[in-house]
Amino acid sequence: MKTSRSGPVWFSGVAGALTLLATLVALPATARPRAQQVAQLEVTPEQPLFIESRPAAAARIEPAPATTPRIEPRPADDAPRIVAPPLVTGALTAREARHPAIDRELQRLLRQAEAPRNPGSTLSSAQAAWQLGLIYLHGAGVRRDAASAQHWFERAARFGREPWAQAGLAWCYLDGCTGPPNAAAAARAIAQLRPAHPARADFLAWVLASRQAPLQVARPGRMQDQVLELPARPLLERAAAAGDVHANIELGMNAVANDRVAQAEAYFRRAGPYSAAAVNDLRELRARGASAMQPAAPPTNASANEALAAARKYHRGDGVPANFVEAIRFYGLADSRGSVEARRMLGLIYSRPTPTGGVDAGWMQQLAYVDTATVVPTVGVTASNHMLLREPTPLYDLLPAFWRQQMTQVDR
């Protein structure tokens, strides 16, 4: 056995370890390093050292609290939806999408109108915007939306690519698509329309003049009747001579009102190839025959005469303050009792409504002394209770045929 100066090698190592262990045991528990307290294990031969594993049930992942947000699949019928005005932002309503052909054509026009970065900056874009304006103005295949119509007219007119767009703007300013009528703006749009389409510009200028001064002037006629004159008639005649459909219809109606049958027929015939309303008016005029244009015999019903006399009294202010409401009420009473004169007067009264559809007080004043025994009423009610028609708007003839066919298919 090998030895060294300090004794056997193995004894020296064991003795040093026992000495260190004795020293640690002698120290108080509080003075021992904590790591040693934790690490010190008591091992005996009868109790072998082993590590007992935790039962399997303890090793599991607890579910998150019930309040933790969870992501669940969205039901198929709960998809997010974007609600927007028709066509303005590129969305079509369900009502418009109901007819596939209409939907396809609307989508095509929409893509064409919005193709360039600046809608209306190209000819095709401006023309598509113009057509969309006409569609929404008339409610052709869609619900009528005058505000959307003006929006598209403005886009079509922005870069001057589509001159007809100024006609759309002029009508919107006259009719109040987005607010009260604006005569000054209408006049500016008509002026911009005139170089390209002078006949329609003349007609719209006549509409503007009649709206600003909606009174017809009555003057004595040859047969002691009254001739009803149109305001700014030269504008209307110039537009009609240039072939404007709406101007010819207006002049035809005025000729009917003044018992000029042959002249009325000529006007309606001139507009007929381009207007279903003119065809209807020509057919109605011929259906009446010459006898229908003769003065009607005075009513024999005494009560009808009394009601008619009361209506005239309130209409003219004879012996009582003029009261147009009472006058219309008595005219209606006389009409219900068989008075043709009362019926004709009511037709005249309602032929020139205000822009909002009411009775025009100035027009009532001008009608106070009209002899309805010899004058056939204009626009609307005739002796046979049939209708003379205008087109829905002064732009209706510009609406493509496909869209005119859709107007009766959607409630407006």
pLDDT at 24: 52
pTM of the model: 0.57
Nearest of 375, 365, 361, 351 to residue 226 by alpha carbon = 375
- Does residue 207 carry a pLDDT above 80? yes
pLDDT at 389: 83
- If one compares 310 and 298, the residue with the highest pLDDT of the two is 310
Nearest of 227, 274, 250, 256 to residue 370 by alpha carbon = 227
| Average pLDDT value for the chain | 74
Taking only the tens place, the pLDDT of each residue in 154-193 is 999 999 999 999 999 999 999 999 999 999 999 999 999 9
Mean pLDDT score, 148-153: 97
Helix (H) / strand (E) element for 8: namely strand 7-8
Q: What is the DSSP letter of 47?
A: B
Residue percentage of the chain with pLDDT more than 70 = 63
Rama region for 2: left / alpha / beta (φ>0; ψ in -120 to 50; rest): beta
- b/e for 116-145, b at 16 or more Cβ within 10 A? eeebbebeebbbbbbbbbbbbbbbbbbebb
Mean pLDDT score, 89-112: 72
Least confident of 170-179, 271-280, 293-302: 293-302
User: CB within 8 A of 278, min separation 6: which ones?
Assistant: 245, 248, 249, 252, 268, 269, 270, 271, 272
d(CA 271, CA 299): 37
Mean pLDDT score, 81-105: 56
- Does residue 96 carry a pLDDT above 50? no
